[in-house]
């Protein structure tokens, strides 16, 4: 298990920036692989699915109150209540139906989380995210219903040129006067940090390759 800590420390040293939060993405990984990093004192962890997060983290969080749990996958509006309860951050707000559902359950549960708007930065039909042309209107809609949007998020096209998309997202973020930004994963986190990312979502570079089903 020391490999996981070594991987994490290497990533931290490469980033070398205290303003960057490493979200250790733990989807499909079991608690025995994750626990060394919790015991090491790391607090930010990400999951892609609400059901897996509930099963894996409910008891762990009771014993580790400083943990911050991030929803980094696509979120359906019918899972909004569970997401508000389970997570501290959601990185994938991208439509009014979902935003309304989250605002409703925040009010009912008396909880305020932090949100990133996911932007479809490459205008890809197969990917989630708000279209750039609709971003400004959607951001102000989220503000109107009192969601705490702290920044933008993107998953760039897989074309070996992530940097140009990170630069574009950073410009969009600044245009909305937002100062947090979620971009960069295991393959491109250094480019993301260079372009101003404050949250990088890293899984396999910390925990190793995921088992294929």
> Who has greater pLDDT, 196 or 63?
196
Residue 211 banded pLDDT, cuts 50, 70, 90: low
Cα-based distances in Å from 173 to 118, 120, 176:
11, 13, 5
Number of domains in the chain: 1
Q: Is residue 191 part of a domain?
A: yes
> CA torsion 189→51→93→107, rounded to 10°?
-130
Mean pLDDT of the chain: 94
pLDDT tens digits for range 136-194: 999 999 999 999 999 999 999 987 789 999 999 999 999 999 999 999 999 999 999 99
Q: Is residue 213 part of a domain?
A: no
Q: Is residue 203 part of a domain?
A: yes
The Cα–Cα gap between 98 and 109 comes to 16
Query: DSSP 3-state assignment of 68?
Result: strand
Residue 210 banded pLDDT, cuts 50, 70, 90: confident
Contact (CB, 8 A) for 154 and 183: yes
Instruction: For residue 179, give the CATH number of its domain.
Output: 3.20.20.10
- Given a cut of 70, whether residue 50 has pLDDT beyond it is yes
**pTM of the predicted model as reported, rounded to 2 decimal places:** 0.95
Backbone angles phi, psi at 47, to 5 degrees: -130, 155
pLDDT tens digits for range 179-203: 999 999 999 999 999 999 999 999 9
Contacts of 82 (CB under 8 A, 6+ apart): 50, 54
Structure tokens at 67: 């943990």
Q: What is the mean pLDDT of residues 108-126?
A: 95
Domain span including residue 80: 2-207
The Cα–Cα gap between 110 and 108 comes to 6
Q: Is residue 212 part of a domain?
A: no
- Give the angle 41-153-86 at the CA atoms, nearest 5°: 50
Structure tokens at 143: 């503000």
The Cα–Cα gap between 115 and 152 comes to 8
Structure tokens at 107: 């009010």
Q: Is residue 50 part of a domain?
A: yes
């Amino acid at each position: 298990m020391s490999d996981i800590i070594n991987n994490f420390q290497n990533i931290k040293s490469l980033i070398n920036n205290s303003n960057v939060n490493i979200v250790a993405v733990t989807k499909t990984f079991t608690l025995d692989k994750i626990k060394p990093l919790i015991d090491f004192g790391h607090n930010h962890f990400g999951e892609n699915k609400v059901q897996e997060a509930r099963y894996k983290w409910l008891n762990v969080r009771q014993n580790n109150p400083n943990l911050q749990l991030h929803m980094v996958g696509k979120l359906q509006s019918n899972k909004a209540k569970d997401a508000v309860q389970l997570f501290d951050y959601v990185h994938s707000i991208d439509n009014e139906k979902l935003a309304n559902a989250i605002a409703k359950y925040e009010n009912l549960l008396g909880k305020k989380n932090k949100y990133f708007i996911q932007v479809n930065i490459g205008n890809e039909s197969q990917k989630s995210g708000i279209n750039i042309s609709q971003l400004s209107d959607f951001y102000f809609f989220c503000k109107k219903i009192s969601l705490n949007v702290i920044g933008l998020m993107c998953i760039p096209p897989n074309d070996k040129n992530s940097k140009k998309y990170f630069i574009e997202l950073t410009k969009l973020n600044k245009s909305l006067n937002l100062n947090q930004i979620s971009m960069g994963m295991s393959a491109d986190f250094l480019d993301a940090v260079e372009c101003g990312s404050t949250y990088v979502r890293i899984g396999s570079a910390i925990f190793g390759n995921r088992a294929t089903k």
